[in-house]
Amino acid sequence: MGRAEPEAMIGEATVHSCNEDEQRTGLFTMLEEQRDLPFTTAVLGRHWVG
């Protein structure tokens, strides 16, 4: 996956967000709907298992 695809996904997930909480919710919702689960990742230095 190139850099443009994740940036486009983030833009799509957060386009209607009014604040950071809504941006996080939109991003996690998109990840949940679009990606194979479970997976492990690091976001802002914190490890998550989704």
The confidence band for 35, taking pLDDT boundaries of 50, 70 and 90, is confident
pLDDT digits (tens, 9 = 90+) for 8-18: 888 998 999 99
The confidence band for 3, taking pLDDT boundaries of 50, 70 and 90, is confident
**Cα–Cα dist 19/30, whole Å:** 17
**Cα–Cα dist 17/42, whole Å:** 22
The confidence band for 22, taking pLDDT boundaries of 50, 70 and 90, is very high
